[in-house]
Structure 1
């Protein structure tokens, strides 16, 4: 059955092809629908296939026209209108638009003028100097396209948060040391801590644009300057594009709010402002209650906020909304009603319950991992090496006998350590939702993490039933990385996150936010669905060496995207409370 990601992908392609065909308005609507479909916690394809088309009414941006296309796709595997668009514009739109400066409209023009359908066609046209002959292009544009083709071939996917955020931190450190910079912050999806990002957006408040731009493009880490102007510049650092925008200091707060997004959050907030006689944009918050035509000028009306981001929300009598929540999933209503969550922070975490050692596929001893956990100030720490079973790479899983041997060693390390060391295991959930641990092993262990590593192509109903059966197993304490996905590699299981949350709440099983940046599984909207059902959450690193204990950062922000508070997360609890939960 079609997954949410697959359905979303069809509408993203729809949007690109429509834009390539110079259609206005529709592309934006399709992109918004695609984003909301992808993030929806319930597998809509399965629901529609079962005759529950009402599920589509719950998705923002999905009206009658888009709903009918979703039903058509679920029932037939295709959308007639999309097939017609593909026939009219037989372009590898995703490949071609990976090139810097080549959007869907440009791709459409290249096809109409030169018959370019693929990257190979584009390269051939560039080498033959045919692109510069097209009106509106020229030698420089052609050279940029030619230079970008190899890069587009190499980088066909969004960057992982865990790869891009460290660069963003470096950007902020660099900009913070530039004398002309008064304030700086990242914006866009990376500030909202999305699991993948397109590029790094940085914002600077300054009264000396020229000095900041000059310093930025001259940064030693820059591999290529894409463009540079009086108010913005773009560079490439490694494989990641970094976009800088500079504004006057008194507009820094409004620009930060605007460019952080998401678009849906901003649209909702702007409409909220309009209902109260206010106007919000990147230049500030303006009282336009006495203005007849407030669309005539971006800065029309009495400016009441803009220097700080918090002031933009205060102008609407709202508290500041953390960036992780700005996805238009109810955060503005929650702010209005004083119901914003008190989000978990990194400092709230007291331990990590899922990590690996050299006993299975880790590369470090139990002692070394425990020592690293101690250095983080944890109160407790869990070793959970792989048990043998389906999907464990290279046969690295431990047998029941080996697990009991490891438990003895963990007990010795625990006795010599300043923190509590839990003896755990990562068991394998088979296709039917069962685990292969013996009763004596289960009784010897402190914590059982159970994860899927195989049969990841099951339909959503089967996958949901499989995971619920595991949750109902009293031996299992934590459901590890529930979907089994690997970002940019495989989508993993599609399941009903609300159903998992309800089962986890009923049976006292924690749902894991796996902090490995290739997983981030559960993800924000799924965490939110689970928390709303009262499910306990566990944020773990799945670390295989001491350095990857740092992954906790990504897991915490992912849980924040799911509205998780400290009390929702079992590894923020006091030791005795956690012991009671595990037993």
Structure 2
């Protein structure tokens, strides 16, 4: 029996959907994608239900019926799904890699396989370079050019995992290691501890005097699918699609190793130079006073060891307060620490509401009542429904017309009257290529909050994109600029823009800039948040939730905002309701 994560299960059903769509199958792909979304959002590992013999509970997961439930059981018990294997044989393409190329969807993959025998990224690149794609019916020179431009990006993003998929696995790893008697302390390190939006692998650090026992217990974990390598003090395994690297250190060096292996490299270089200027030496083994040492580089542990057991002690040895991992990107954090001017970072408990969520009125999966109930469970003071308005980039006819928006406002007011949470009537308008949002005055007057987001024309130049977004920010009807770049991590790059310029305009016109907490977006990102805040802009951390379970995405948004040095005062939905009302249009 394999210990499949929810992310791994969801990936199998997404592949199912893509292969079916590539083979021109109708209806089924949508069902599999809904199931994949539900599985990703489910708070508990579905594999646990199978392992406990409680397969019937799978039917309670939204979007998971008998057919999909049986496939989940089959995958957890055998490591594969027979029907999926048959599809792979019928259409022998690397659908996951190929659909990472912007503009290449499942149907395109199917067509190019049948017409040109394109099976992988190398085949796709070769066909584009040879000018063969533009000769296929329905394609052209522009499509071929776009594919060629995006192949290398698709190769790069395939090497990294989304934070929202890797971090839950890291939490599982920590929970398991903490259960081992030989483990004294453990923590994640590397980019995942700094909460970067994508990570290469999961790095875990353990403190123990019995390193070989820890390594043995780690590789014997029932979630491990493959042991890559192991030694007396470290090991690497594969859990699903993710590599997990373990390193075991003695207790007195746990803090120094945690600081060293957390990074970032640029932060550590600057911190080491800061230490050198003060007669100190920092490395993974500790902090050493080398002021009286003739050759500080003679040995890693040379000099008088003054810290290393705790990470806090490593910074204290330099006269600095502990620097939160999210800030360790060499963007001024060491100078701020030296001046005792580090930010009092936003926490999950500071967030009082969510101002960008969806319902079944557009492309969400639940009713207004069900989403509001989810907000109540989060303990929110206020909560906004912001379904899609009609506009460019909204496919499938899910955008609401003016009449439908006004009808929904009435429905929201009725729910609000019976709710413990203050429910706000909002809309997600579409920022077109010129920065216009396409809402009538009559609609604007009835709404409490307007989120305006780009969904199309995402290939504009940086100058065009900046002007486009400035136009939206300066529109007095717009309260929040939603997911400003429109990027989808590991799928498309989105708009490039000057974040400081947007921040300056947002501060001047009273428009908030969104940190979209969906792990596929995390847009704005850390450095852009920091640039905007430095210009006086207000940030809104929203989940863009399409079902109650994805309101939990706020976790990723909070840590992304922290990477941008955001304090509660900088975040619109950390304010009380009266302050929020005063800010809105």
Partner of 1:485: 487
Instruction: Say whether the 8 Å CA contact 1:155–1:239 is kept in structure 2.
Output: no
Q: What are the within-5 Å matches in structure 2 for residues 413-492 of structure 1?
A: 413-492=415-494
Of 377, 395, 398, the match for 2:397? 395
Partner of 1:368: 370
CA distance in 2 between partners of 1:393 and 1:179 (Å): 54
Corresponding position: 1:578 with 2:580: yes
Instruction: Say whether the 8 Å CA contact 1:452–1:483 is kept in structure 2.
Output: yes
Of 294, 297, 320, the match for 2:296? 294
Partner of 2:162: 160
Partner of 1:235: 237
| 1:120/1:442 CA distance change after superposition, 3 Å | closer
Instruction: Say whether the 8 Å CA contact 1:386–1:396 is kept in structure 2.
Output: yes
| 1:485/1:119 CA distance change after superposition, 3 Å | closer
Q: Deviations over 1:92-120 (max 9, x none)?
A: xxx9xxxxxxxxxxxxxxxxxxxxxx999
Q: Deviations over 1:226-285 (max 9, x none)?
A: 001001000000000000000000100000000000000000000000000000000000
| 1:486/1:155 CA distance change after superposition, 3 Å | closer
Partner of 1:547: 549
Local SS of the residue matching 1:430: coil
Corresponding position: 1:406 with 2:412: no
CA distance in 1 between partners of 2:238 and 2:161 (Å): 13
Partner of 2:114: none
CA distance in 1 between partners of 2:337 and 2:264 (Å): 16
Instruction: Say whether the 8 Å CA contact 1:372–1:546 is kept in structure 2.
Output: yes
CA distance in 1 between partners of 2:260 and 2:159 (Å): 26
Q: Post-superposition, which runs of at least 4 consecutive aligned residues in structure 1 deviate over 4 A?
A: 118-121, 152-155
Q: Deviations over 1:477-505 (max 9, x none)?
A: 00000000000111000000000000000
Q: Deviations over 1:171-198 (max 9, x none)?
A: 0000010000000000000000000000
Instruction: Say whether the 8 Å CA contact 1:505–1:536 is kept in structure 2.
Output: yes
CA distance in 1 between partners of 2:376 and 2:215 (Å): 43
CA distance in 1 between partners of 2:493 and 2:156 (Å): 21
Alpha-carbon offset, residue 157 of structure 1: 3.0
Instruction: Say whether the 8 Å CA contact 1:157–1:488 is kept in structure 2.
Output: no
Partner of 2:307: 305
Alpha-carbon offset, residue 393 of structure 1: 2.1
Taking structure 1 as the reference length, the TM-score comes to 0.74
Instruction: Say whether the 8 Å CA contact 1:379–1:575 is kept in structure 2.
Output: yes
CA distance in 1 between partners of 2:158 and 2:262 (Å): 24
Total equivalences in the alignment = 437
Partner of 1:529: 531
CA distance in 1 between partners of 2:247 and 2:155 (Å): 28
Alpha-carbon offset, residue 213 of structure 1: 0.4
Instruction: Say whether the 8 Å CA contact 2:469–2:502 is kept in structure 1.
Output: yes
Of 560, 563, 580, the match for 1:561? 563
| 1:348/1:242 CA distance change after superposition, 3 Å | same
Of 262, 267, 270, the match for 1:268? 270
Local SS of the residue matching 1:300: coil
Instruction: Say whether the 8 Å CA contact 2:157–2:490 is kept in structure 1.
Output: no
Of 163, 170, 173, the match for 2:172? 170
Partner of 1:66: none
Alpha-carbon offset, residue 208 of structure 1: 0.5
Structure 2: stretches of 5+ with no match in the other structure: 1-96, 98-119, 124-153
CA distance in 2 between partners of 1:210 and 1:447 (Å): 57
Q: Deviations over 1:314-357 (max 9, x none)?
A: 00000000000000000000000111000000000000000000
Partner of 2:319: 317
Partner of 2:187: 185
Taking structure 2 as the reference length, the TM-score comes to 0.74
CA distance in 2 between partners of 1:382 and 1:155 (Å): 33
C-alpha root-mean-square deviation of aligned residues, in Å? Answer: 1.6
Structure 1: stretches of 5+ with no match in the other structure: 1-94, 96-117, 122-151
CA distance in 1 between partners of 2:156 and 2:571 (Å): 39
Partner of 1:519: 521
Partner of 2:205: 203
